[in-house]
Each structure stands twice: as structure tokens, then as C-alpha cells.
């Protein structure tokens, strides 16, 4: 017995922010952003929150799976941008959708968070501990951007994706993941300083700070490692893969990874031109689009891989 993805959903803010619109806010231009990243526009939350996007994506995934909220025994929301620290976003989703039998928690592994969440649910389901889980990747990254820093604010966007998972004869074949905390400084977002009656620490920046080139090098090295490790564990060759769904950070990262793997770029769907980098949400949104568009067919052999702040990385190999 393994676990499999029974349904997918996604939700995006209504507001579209084009590169040209961004150029009126910060010193940048459409050509630079397209050439260096492949991003043309992104969605930015105005009325939406991490919670409302999560709820909308979850409802669609449940309907797609044909599973009732009461059947869900675990909700994990992967996010680094919750609306608040307590109650956690999964509890808020539970209340909204009526998943009264679920345990609920958040998971932060940055852009690898959704993959970590899927692996966690896989462990629970394949071991028989529980049957159905709802895994959501959701972000409102716009609230942790320094909108005066053109090196970061042009890259990211808001959104959410969700999957319902359950037991299955076929589905997840192999998992792979890891972290390197010693390189955490190349992609950071400050936290609240320790301030109490006994100590007053310096505040750190509340915004995302990134060494773009170091992150780029990490990503193009790590993705082939993940895909090769998954293939070896699954006893298949990377050339057997029908689709590779990667975290959507930068088109050049995806192209370089495809080249290093010796695979055709056509099997790497890309939607970052429309949404930018939505961190924990990106693979879940891409998966929903591949599912609904028919790119994913029954029996497709697919690898999914995420990488990001931490540094963290994780992937799965599955038969759709």
C-alpha cells in the first residue's frame, strides 16, 4: 500500500501586477525581469489572505477528489507567511471547511514546504495511521517583500494550491529530501527580536533578503541530484519520466536543470510567467494546472521537486 493524490485545487488573488506596473513602483523594467527570470506578471493579494486562499484551494481539491471534509484526518498548511502565529492556518482552514476529524498544523520549509507536507502525509497514510489528508501550500509573500528592493520584489507572488491524499495501490514510489542549515544565510527573512523586561535585542529586517546567485547555483545543482536520487530509488531512468514539476523560481533555473539532466524542456511545465515565485504554493498550483489541463494522464510517471530557504529541498516520484 502506498499513498496517492486524489484531487487538486488552487486559488490565486484577483489582482494582476505586470512587470510594467512594477516598473512604476521600483527601478526595474519588463525586459530585465523577463530575460533574467521568465516572469511576466504575478498575483498580489489585496482582499485575500493566506487563510482565504488556502480555504478556496482546499474546497476545490476536496471536490476534485470526491472526499468529504469529515473524511480528512490531517491538514497541513505549508507556508512561511501565515496571517498570524496562532491559531495556525490549518486550524483556520479546518473551521471554514468543517473538517472536524482532522489534526491540523503548519509546516515551514520555505519553497520546499509543500513537498515536505506531501511526504509527511505519505508517511501517515502508507503506514496505515490515517486515511485521508489535505495538504496545502499557501503564501502571501507580498507582505514580506521590501518593495524598494528590485532584487527581490520582482520575483515573488501570492497564491495557494492544495491536494487531497489517500491510500492507493499505485501512487508515490519514492521520496527524497534534505536540508543544509549551514547555508541558511543566503535566503532569509527576519524574525521578531527578543524584547522583554530583561533584554532588548536589535530588530532584524522583516523582509526577504537573498543572495540570488548563491541560490541559483544551489538550485541548479540540487534539482538534478533530487531527480537522479528519486529515479534510482524508483528503479527508473530520468528519461522514463513523462513530466517533471519543479518549484517555479526562475525559468533559467528550470532550463539549466533540464539540460544537466539531459531531458527535453517540454516535460518541465512552467507557469512562473503568470505567477512569479509563490514559494510553498508553486508546485501545488502547477500540479493543479497539469491535472486539470490533461498534461497529467493516468499512469504518467512524474517527478516533483522543491528547493528553497533553509536551505531545504524535497521531491517525490509518483505514478499518476
Where along the sequence are the contacts to ligand COA (CB under 6 A)? 28, 32-33, 36-37, 111, 150-151, 154, 210, 212-213, 215-216, 249-250, 277, 308
- Beta strand segments in 147-266, E: 158-168, 172-179, 187-189, 195-196, 199-200, 208-210, 243-246
Min. distance of Cβ 31 from ligand COA in angstroms?
9
Our CB check for ligand COA shows the closer of 106 and 139 to be: 139
The one catalytic residue in 19, 88, 277, 291 is: 277
Helix, strand, or coil (residue 20)? helix
State the Cα–Cα distance between residues 13 and 43, nearest whole angstrom.
Answer: 6
Our CB check for ligand COA shows the closer of 37 and 54 to be: 37
The one catalytic residue in 19, 88, 91, 111 is: 111
Contacts of 32 (CB under 8 A, 6+ apart): none
Contacts of 295 (CB under 8 A, 6+ apart): 243, 269, 289
Cβ–Cβ < 8 Å for 115, 179: no
Tell me the three cell numbers of residue 121: 502525509
Other beta carbons less than 10 A from residue 231's beta carbon:
22
Q: Check if 247 is active-site.
A: yes
Helix, strand, or coil (residue 260)? helix
Our CB check for ligand COA shows the closer of 7 and 276 to be: 276
The one catalytic residue in 88, 153, 247, 250 is: 247
Closest-approach residue to ligand COA (CB): 212
Min. distance of Cβ 43 from ligand COA in angstroms?
17
State the Cα–Cα distance between residues 244 and 236, nearest whole angstrom.
Answer: 14
Q: Check if 122 is active-site.
A: no
Min. distance of Cβ 207 from ligand COA in angstroms?
14
Cβ–Cβ < 8 Å for 223, 305: yes
Our CB check for ligand COA shows the closer of 131 and 217 to be: 217
Min. distance of Cβ 297 from ligand COA in angstroms?
29
Q: Check if 111 is active-site.
A: yes
Cβ–Cβ < 8 Å for 302, 5: no
Our CB check for ligand COA shows the closer of 25 and 123 to be: 25
Min. distance of Cβ 282 from ligand COA in angstroms?
9
Q: Which residues are catalytic?
A: 111, 247, 277
Amino acid at each position: 500500500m502506498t499513498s496517492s493524490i486524489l484531487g487538486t485545487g488552487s486559488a490565486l488573488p484577483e489582482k494582476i501586477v505586470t512587470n510594467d506596473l512594477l516598473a512604476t513602483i521600483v527601478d526595474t523594467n519588463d525586459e530585465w525581469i523577463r530575460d533574467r527570470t521568465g516572469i511576466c506578471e504575478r498575483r498580489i493579494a489585496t482582499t485575500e489572505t493566506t487563510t482565504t486562499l488556502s480555504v478556496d484551494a482546499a474546497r476545490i481539491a476536496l471536490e476534485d477528489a470526491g472526499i468529504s471534509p469529515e473524511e480528512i484526518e490531517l491538514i497541513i498548511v505549508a507556508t512561511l507567511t501565515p496571517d498570524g502565529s496562532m491559531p495556525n492556518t490549518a486550524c483556520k482552514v479546518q473551521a471554514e471547511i468543517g473538517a472536524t476529524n482532522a489534526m491540523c498544523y503548519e509546516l515551514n520549509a520555505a519553497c520546499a514546504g509543500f513537498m515536505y507536507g506531501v511526504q509527511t502525509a505519505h508517511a501517515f497514510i502508507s503506514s496505515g495511521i490515517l486515511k485521508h489528508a489535505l495538504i496545502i501550500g499557501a503564501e502571501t509573500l507580498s507582505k514580506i517583500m521590501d518593495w524598494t528592493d528590485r532584487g527581490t520584489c520582482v520575483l515573488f507572488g501570492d497564491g495557494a494550491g492544495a491536494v487531497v491524499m489517500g491510500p492507493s495501490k499505485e501512487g508515490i514510489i519514492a521520496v527524497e529530501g534534505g536540508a543544509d542549515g549551514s547555508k541558511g544565510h543566503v535566503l532569509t527573512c527576519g524574525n521578531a527580536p527578543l524584547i522583554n523586561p530583561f533584554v532588548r535585542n536589535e530588530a532584524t529586517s522583516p523582509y526577504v533578503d537573498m543572495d540570488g546567485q548563491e541560490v541559483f547555483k544551489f538550485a541548479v545543482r540540487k534539482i538534478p541530484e533530487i531527480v537522479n536520487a528519486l529515479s534510482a530509488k524508483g528503479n527508473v531512468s530520468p528519461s522514463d519520466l513523462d513530466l517533471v514539476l519543479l518549484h517555479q523560481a526562475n525559468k533559467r533555473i528550470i532550463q539549466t536543470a533540464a539540460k544537466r539532466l539531459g531531458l527535453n524542456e517540454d516535460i518541465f511545465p512552467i507557469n512562473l510567467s503568470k505567477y512569479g515565485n509563490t514559494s510553498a504554493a508553486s508546485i501545488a498550483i502547477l500540479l493543479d494546472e497539469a491535472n486539470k489541463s490533461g498534461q497529467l494522464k493516468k499512469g504518467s510517471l512524474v517527478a516533483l521537486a522543491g528547493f528553497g530557504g533553509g536551505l531545504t529541498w524535497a521531491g517525490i516520484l509518483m505514478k499518476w
